Chain A
Amino acid sequence: MNLEAVIGLEVHCQLASCSKIFCSCPTKFGALPNTQVCPVCLGLPGVLPVFNKRVLELAIISGLALSCKINNHSRFHRKNYFYPDLPKAYQISQYDEPLATGGSINLDGKKIGITRLHLEEDAGKLMHAEGASLVDFNRCGIPLIEIVSEPDIRSPEEAYAYLTEIKAILQYTEVSNCNMEEGSLRCDVNVSIRREGEGLGEKVEIKNLNSFRGVEKALHYEIERQIEVIKSGRKVFQETRLFDEKKQVTFTMRAKEEAKDYRYFPEPDLLPLIVEKEQIESLKSQVPELASQKKERFMKDYGLSEYDAKILTSTKEMAIFFETCLRSYDKPKIVNNWITTELLGLLAEKKKKLADSLVKPELLTKMLLLIDDGVISGKIGKDVFAEIFASGKDPEEIIKEKGLVQIKDTDSLYLVIDEVLSENPQAIKDYQEGKKKAVGSLIGQIMKKTMGRANPELANQLLLKRLGEDI
C-alpha cells in the first residue's frame, strides 16, 4: 500500500500599514496592553468600520507577487464565533469573493498553486495566567492577508521550502516585515494521507506553529501518526490539533468546525471592494525583482553557483549588501566568499541579523582592496574582518592599531628567516638530503614568529635562497 501525504498551508501575514484595517489605531508592535484600541476595533456599539486604502494596495502587491489574479469585485463577510480575544464576536474576513485567486510559486521547478489570498482583521492576544486568562486587544483590527495554498505539497521539507519562499516574496515586496516573533507571520497546516492516486483522506488541521522548523517537525510527527492509524485499520478523524514543541507531538484541540458553523454572511457595514484595472496596472510597477528572479540574475551575471546565489538572495538585505559591495569592488566571487563564509559565519555564531550588524559594504570592500594591494594577507584579513564585525571600525584603523601590516621588506624577513634557520639545523639537513617538505615546517615557523604578517610568497622565496636554491 503506497501512502502519500497531501499538505496545504494557510499563511497569515500582517501588512505593513501604519494604521489598522478598519480604524486609525496604530499597528506598532510592543505597545503596552490595550493602549492601541478605539471603539471600532473594540467592537463598541454604534461604530462603523472604514477600510484603509494602503492595506488594499499592499494586498494587491502581495497578490501580484504571487502571480494571482486580482478580482475586480470582492467583498467582506462576517465570520461569527465566540472567543474572548474577539470583542465583536465576529471577525471581518473574506469568504466566497476573495481579493485574489489562482496564483502560484515555483519551488525548484515544482509549481505550488495558491488557491486564494484574502483580507481580514486579526483578533486580540490571549495570555494565560494562574486561574484566569488575560486579554490584550491591541492586535484587534491589525490588517492581515491569508494566503491559502493548493494541496500540492507532499512532504514536510517541501512545506518548509514553500514557507521560506512565501516569506522571501513578502519581504522582497516589502508588504510585511514577516517577523515571526512579533506574530507578523503565522501558519496553519492541513494534512491528510491518501493512497497514491486516490481521492483525499480526512484532513487534520494543526495550529500553534511558531516557526517554519516547527511546521516541518509537526508534519513529520502528524504524517507518521496518520499512517499508523490507517495501517492499523482505524480511521483518521477530521479535527484540529495543536503541536507541542517541547514534546514534539500533536494532540487533539477540538473537532474541526465546519464553515457553516461560522455562519458567514456579508458584512452589512462595508460595501463591495471594487479594484479598477488601472490601479492594478500602476501597482504592478511596485512589484520589485523577487528572490527567484534575483537568484537567476546573480547566477547569470556574476557566474555564481545556484547554491551561493540562493544564499545571497535569501533576504533582500543580503542581496543589497552583496550588490552594494560590487559597486566598489568588482569581483563577485570573492565578495560572495567573504559574505557566505565569514559574514554569515559570524552572524550565526553571534545570533545576529545582518541589519543589526556593524559590518557595512564599504568596510568589507575597503578591506578587500587592502588585501589585493598586499597591505595585509588574506589570512590576516579574517582577523581584521572579525574586528570590523565586532566594532564597526575602519579596516585601515584596525590594521594600524594592531600592527597587522604585512611584512614585505627583505631585510626584516631575512632577520626572521635566519633566526628560524639557526633554531632548526635538522630541518636544513633534511632539506639538503632531498626532503623538500622541510620547507613547509620552516615557513610555518616564520609565520608564527611574525604572527602571520610575513608576505607568504616573499618569505618562501627568501627562505629558498637562504637554503641555497638558485632563484
Chain B
Amino acid sequence: MLKKEDVQKVARLANLCLSEKEEERFSNQLTAILDYVSKLSELNVDKVCPLFSIEKERMEMREDKVEKGLELSEVTSFSENIRDGLFVVPKIIE
C-alpha cells in the first residue's frame, strides 16, 4: 500500500493540491496500478535485450535548416494575458 506521504509528495511534484479524501482515493488507485505493473517483475528478463522501438533501431535526424515558426499573433493568441509579446505568469519568487 502506497503511504500517504508518498501520495503527497507525488502530488507536490505534479503541482496538484489534493484534499484528504482525494489523497486516500488516489492512494488506493495508485497502489492498484503499481501492483498491476509489478506483475512484470515476475518474469525473468535477464537474457532479453532492451527494445527501444519495434519499428527502427536508431534515430532519424534532420539537417540544420531554419524554417519559419509561428507568427507572433498566433503565439500570443494562446493566452489572454500577454504584455509586450510576453506571457504573463504569476510572479516567481525564489
A-side residues, CB < 8 A to B, are: 17-19, 23-26, 32-39, 41-42, 50-56, 75, 80-84, 126-129, 131-137, 242, 253-254, 261, 263, 266, 270-274
Question: Closest 4 A-B residue pairs measured CB to CB?
Answer: A38-B69, A54-B64, A24-B67, A134-B86
Looking at the complex, which one of B64, B66, B87, B89 makes contact with A55 (CB distance below 8 Å)? B64
Docked Cα-Cα span, A53 to B64, in Å, equals 7
The verdict on A272 contacting B59 (CB below 8 Å), with A18-B64, A32-B72 known, is yes
The reply to whether B58 and A274 contact each other, CB–CB distance below 8 Å, is yes
The reply to whether A132 and B62 contact each other, CB–CB distance below 8 Å, is no
Looking at the complex, which one of B57, B69, B94 makes contact with A272 (CB distance below 8 Å)? B57
Beta-carbon nearest neighbor of A240 in chain B: B94
The reply to whether A135 and B75 contact each other, CB–CB distance below 8 Å, is no
The reply to whether B13 and A263 contact each other, CB–CB distance below 8 Å, is yes
The reply to whether B66 and A18 contact each other, CB–CB distance below 8 Å, is yes
Docked Cα-Cα span, A354 to B65, in Å, equals 30
B53 at the interface (CB under 8 A from A): yes
The reply to whether B66 and A272 contact each other, CB–CB distance below 8 Å, is no
Query: Would you give the shortest CB distance from A273 to chain B, in whole angstroms?
Result: 6
User: Which of B14, B78, B91 is the most central at the interface, judged by chain A CB atoms within 10 Å of its CB?
Assistant: B91
B1 at the interface (CB under 8 A from A): no
The verdict on A134 contacting B89 (CB below 8 Å), with A25-B66, A271-B59 known, is yes
The reply to whether B59 and A82 contact each other, CB–CB distance below 8 Å, is no
The reply to whether A19 and B65 contact each other, CB–CB distance below 8 Å, is yes
The reply to whether A274 and B59 contact each other, CB–CB distance below 8 Å, is yes
Docked Cα-Cα span, A20 to B57, in Å, equals 24
Chain B residues bordering chain A, tally (CB within 8 A): 34
The reply to whether A17 and B64 contact each other, CB–CB distance below 8 Å, is yes
B88 at the interface (CB under 8 A from A): yes
Given contacts A50-B61, A52-B64, 14 further A-B contacts (CB under 8 A): A34-B72, A34-B85, A34-B87, A38-B69, A51-B61, A53-B64, A75-B52, A129-B83, A134-B84, A134-B88, A134-B89, A135-B89, A261-B13, A274-B59
Query: Would you give the shortest CB distance from B49 to chain A, in whole angstroms?
Result: 12
Residues in A with CB closer than 8 Å to B91 are 128, 131-133
Residues in B with CB closer than 8 Å to A82 are 14-15
- Classify the interface of chain B: helix, strand, loop or mixed: loop
Docked Cα-Cα span, A242 to B92, in Å, equals 15
> B1-33 toward A: CB 8 Å interface, digit per residue (1/0)?
000000000000111000000000000000000
Beta-carbon nearest neighbor of A87 in chain B: B87
Docked Cα-Cα span, A81 to B67, in Å, equals 29
Docked Cα-Cα span, A315 to B45, in Å, equals 53
B70 at the interface (CB under 8 A from A): yes
Beta-carbon nearest neighbor of A22 in chain B: B62
The reply to whether A132 and B85 contact each other, CB–CB distance below 8 Å, is no
B60 at the interface (CB under 8 A from A): yes
Beta-carbon nearest neighbor of A28 in chain B: B66
**Pairs A–B under 8 Å by Cβ, sample size 13:** A34-B86, A37-B70, A52-B64, A80-B13, A84-B92, A127-B86, A133-B90, A133-B91, A134-B87, A135-B87, A135-B89, A137-B75, A271-B52
Beta-carbon nearest neighbor of A82 in chain B: B15
The verdict on A134 contacting B90 (CB below 8 Å), with A35-B72, A52-B62 known, is no
The reply to whether A274 and B57 contact each other, CB–CB distance below 8 Å, is yes
The reply to whether A242 and B94 contact each other, CB–CB distance below 8 Å, is yes
Docked Cα-Cα span, A160 to B26, in Å, equals 50
Residues in A with CB closer than 8 Å to B69 are 23-25, 36-38, 41
Query: Would you give the shortest CB distance from B18 to chain A, in whole angstroms?
Result: 16
Docked Cα-Cα span, A24 to B66, in Å, equals 5
Residues in A with CB closer than 8 Å to B47 are none
Docked Cα-Cα span, A128 to B60, in Å, equals 39
The reply to whether B86 and A271 contact each other, CB–CB distance below 8 Å, is no
The reply to whether A32 and B85 contact each other, CB–CB distance below 8 Å, is yes
Residues in B with CB closer than 8 Å to A32 are 72, 85
B46 at the interface (CB under 8 A from A): no
Residues in A with CB closer than 8 Å to B90 are 84, 132-133
Query: Would you give the shortest CB distance from B71 to chain A, in whole angstroms?
Result: 8
Residues in A with CB closer than 8 Å to B53 are 271
The reply to whether A51 and B70 contact each other, CB–CB distance below 8 Å, is no
The verdict on A133 contacting B13 (CB below 8 Å), with A18-B65, A50-B62, A272-B57 known, is no
B39 at the interface (CB under 8 A from A): no
The verdict on A53 contacting B92 (CB below 8 Å), with A32-B85, A33-B84 known, is no
Docked Cα-Cα span, A89 to B15, in Å, equals 11
Docked Cα-Cα span, A274 to B14, in Å, equals 33
Docked Cα-Cα span, A133 to B81, in Å, equals 11
Docked Cα-Cα span, A134 to B91, in Å, equals 8
Docked Cα-Cα span, A254 to B70, in Å, equals 36
Docked Cα-Cα span, A83 to B89, in Å, equals 10
